[in-house]
Amino acid sequence: MNHHRPFIFLLACLTAALASPGLPAADARASFIPWPKKVEVEAGQLRLASARIVARAPVLLPLAKVLSEEIAATTRLKLATGSGPGEPGDIVLTLDSSLKDEAYRLRVGSQAVVSGGNYGAVAMGTVSLLQAIGGQGESAALLRVRLDDSPDKAYRGLMIDVARQYHTIDNLKQIVEMCRLYKIRYVQLHLSDDQGFMFPTKAFPKAFTQNQNGGQPYPLDELTGLVAYADARNVTLIPEFDIPGHSGALNRSDPDFWMIRGTKPYEHHASINFARDEVNQACITIIGEMCQVFKSSPYFHIGGDEADYVYADQNVHFQEAFKKLGLGAKDQHEMYRRFLGLMDAAVKKNGKRTIVWEGFGREPNSKFPMPKDVIVMVYENRFYQPNDLLADGYTVINASWTPLYVLRNLTDYTQKIFEWNIYRFGAYTKDYAATTWRQLDSSASMSGTQVCSWEQPQAMELGNLRRPLAAMSERVWNGAAGKTWPDFEERLAVTDAMLENLARTVHWTYQGLSNAEERMFEKSFTLTMAAAEAGTIRYTIDGKPPTAESPEYKAPVTIEQAGYVRAGLFNGAGKQVGPLSEDHFRKVGK
């Protein structure tokens, strides 16, 4: 999956082609992912050595700076930024009110002009511009292309599980870079679960005192900074507060407050006491705190999945609520639906729209119907079928286990995703061939789709996601592109090499892996490291982050033990420069 030699080779081939003036249009290769709606490649190129990146509207200046940094990372050419109409040879970013939503245009002639109706649309265009650049340094140049483009679906998402496995802010910035490169619009942060509560709530400071995921909650300023970092790249972070189930960390932090106490044969360790008014108000307060940090997100995810409340009827708070609400003696499921409705109201009060997992089920006679304006992520196709959700008036996002879940050592489904479509829902399975599928008609009003990455250590995220996420983007952006799998693989080789430069400070190649895709070896393999910037590369092979005292990289390293390799670049003062590079390697048969 991270075997970059062929990727870099293909990138070099593209660069060589761009260096030849008068290149016939028929021979020009454009390595766009996702493939745009309309692509015209003309002869020639626009060299960038003397170019500036000019924003014609002040609101686009932050985007100009982001693009300058990205061009520097991928070509080693640093372009100045500014404002105004631009000169011949410049890259010009401009607003055009005739272009709606995420539609954009890219025209490369005497200038490279990216147009869109808003910041986000222009940001999408700058990604395509970046993918059209080849060459290094003074030789960097743009293909002469004309693009008219817009996505099929507005919701293109990725979920990262930071509650079960601690992820640094640097690692999440790498994920944001990957999402920007592939026009993934949203990153859902799974901030709470049984293993950890990662939001720094001020109202309930005990909430994160019993984390078991190896990390403390994100400092508020770092979390706010991450939101701003993502916003500048047109990647919107969506918070998820998974309630009332998956709340073991909360329950451990203050069991007398949060837990459903007094039930037998066991107390529900992972579900909060959603019949207790004080607990419900606490959740509403935390939702408000989260919404203040994630201001740019139009959505808030309340979880709602897999809540265990089978014995909750024995609890005094539930018994009192049953009487107060006129419910039966074992109507805890109705209480669960009521709770989701209360949380939805809290989300709306904060000016956002609720997303929920499919877990609430189809209950037409329920006293507490789920509001029809909530967005439902279908993941197991078990509790509420997607065709029923759509028929009942809900907005649906396809987040099906098959083929969109990425978990640790799960088989790479990149080609399966490329051959899939968003109207196809695969049930939970460990055997792809045995998957139960539900295919909806292409006229179904689907909002979009999401890849979900569960329980993965951060060192595995970039490696395990970079291929399947690109394939998902191709499918959801332009389902009628008509491209073949070999064609996609060639384009992916180029964009993946670009991602390596965007997301990592230390780059490496592997020699001796028996399975590069799965990062597996038999007895040993060799790791060669390099960095584009000046500094000292330091690394670890014991899973710990490198420090200024870690071994210095001087020659290729032979690795004989399975585990995590991490490397960072350090300046003369011993301070880490840029994000860590990290990956996980396994021995064959283990």
pLDDT (average), residues 366-387: 94
Q: What does the alpha-carbon distance between residue 397 and residue 355 come to, in Å, rounded to a whole number?
A: 9
Q: What is the pLDDT of residues 48-72, one digit of tens each?
A: 999 999 999 999 999 999 999 999 9
The answer to whether residues 260 and 271 touch, using CB atoms and an 8 Å cutoff, is yes
Say what the pLDDT of residue 527 is. Answer: 94
Highest mean pLDDT among 172-181, 500-509, 563-572: 172-181
Q: What is the pLDDT of residues 115-168, one digit of tens each?
A: 999 999 999 999 999 999 999 999 999 999 999 999 999 999 999 999 999 999
Say what the pLDDT of residue 334 is. Answer: 97
User: Where residue 586 falls among pLDDT bands split at 50, 70, 90?
Assistant: confident
Looking at domain 505-587, its CATH class is mainly beta
Which is more confident, 582 or 447?
A: 447
Say what the pLDDT of residue 518 is. Answer: 76
Q: What does the alpha-carbon distance between residue 374 and residue 396 come to, in Å, rounded to a whole number?
A: 9
User: Where residue 340 falls among pLDDT bands split at 50, 70, 90?
Assistant: very high
155-477: CATH homologous superfamily?
Glycosidases (3.20.20.80)
Say what the pLDDT of residue 555 is. Answer: 95
Q: What is the pLDDT of residues 409-452, one digit of tens each?
A: 666 789 999 999 999 999 988 788 889 999 999 888 889 999 99
Q: Are strands 186-190 and 112-116 parallel, antiparallel or unpaired?
A: unpaired
Q: Are strands 259-260 and 268-272 parallel, antiparallel or unpaired?
A: antiparallel
Using alpha carbons, select from 474, 476, 477 the residue that is nearest to residue 487.
Answer: 474
Say what the pLDDT of residue 30 is. Answer: 81
Does the pLDDT value for residue 366 go beyond 80?
Answer: yes
User: Where residue 10 falls among pLDDT bands split at 50, 70, 90?
Assistant: very low
User: Where residue 1 falls among pLDDT bands split at 50, 70, 90?
Assistant: very low
Highest mean pLDDT among 18-32, 331-345, 572-586: 331-345
Positive or negative torsion for Cα 309, 310, 315, 317: positive
**What are the counts of helices (DSSP H) followed by strands (DSSP E) for the chain?**
15, 28
CA dihedral 286, 406, 508, 541 (to 10 degrees): 70
Say what the pLDDT of residue 409 is. Answer: 64
Ranges in the chain annotated CATH 2.60.40: 505-587
User: Where residue 191 falls among pLDDT bands split at 50, 70, 90?
Assistant: very high
User: Where residue 532 falls among pLDDT bands split at 50, 70, 90?
Assistant: confident
Q: Helix, strand, coil proportions of the chain in percent (round to 5)?
A: 35, 25, 40
Does the pLDDT value for residue 7 go beyond 70?
Answer: no
Using alpha carbons, select from 582, 511, 523 the residue that is nearest to residue 550.
Answer: 582
Quote the percentage of the chain above a pLDDT of 90: 80
Task: Classify 148 as helix, strand or coil.
Answer: strand
User: Where residue 29 falls among pLDDT bands split at 50, 70, 90?
Assistant: low
Q: Tokens 């082609």 label which residue? A: 17
pLDDT (average), residues 321-327: 97
pLDDT (average), residues 357-382: 93
Does the pLDDT value for residue 19 go beyond 90?
Answer: no
Say what the pLDDT of residue 2 is. Answer: 35
The answer to whether residues 476 and 152 touch, using CB atoms and an 8 Å cutoff, is yes
pTM, entire model: 0.91
* Amino acid sitting at position 130: L
Across the chain, what does the average pLDDT equal? Answer: 91
5-149: CATH homologous superfamily?
Chitobiase/beta-hexosaminidase domain 2-like (3.30.379.10)
Does the pLDDT value for residue 589 go beyond 80?
Answer: no
Say what the pLDDT of residue 11 is. Answer: 36
Does the pLDDT value for residue 243 go beyond 70?
Answer: yes
Q: What is the pLDDT of residues 291-312, one digit of tens each?
A: 999 999 999 999 999 999 999 9
List, in order, residues 6 or more apart from 141 with CB less than 8 Å away: 18, 19, 45, 46, 47, 48, 133, 134, 135
List, in order, residues 6 or more apart from 205 with CB less than 8 Å away: none
Say what the pLDDT of residue 5 is. Answer: 32
User: Where residue 14 falls among pLDDT bands split at 50, 70, 90?
Assistant: very low
Say what the pLDDT of residue 517 is. Answer: 72
User: Where residue 580 falls among pLDDT bands split at 50, 70, 90?
Assistant: confident
Ranges in the chain annotated CATH 3.20.20.80: 155-477
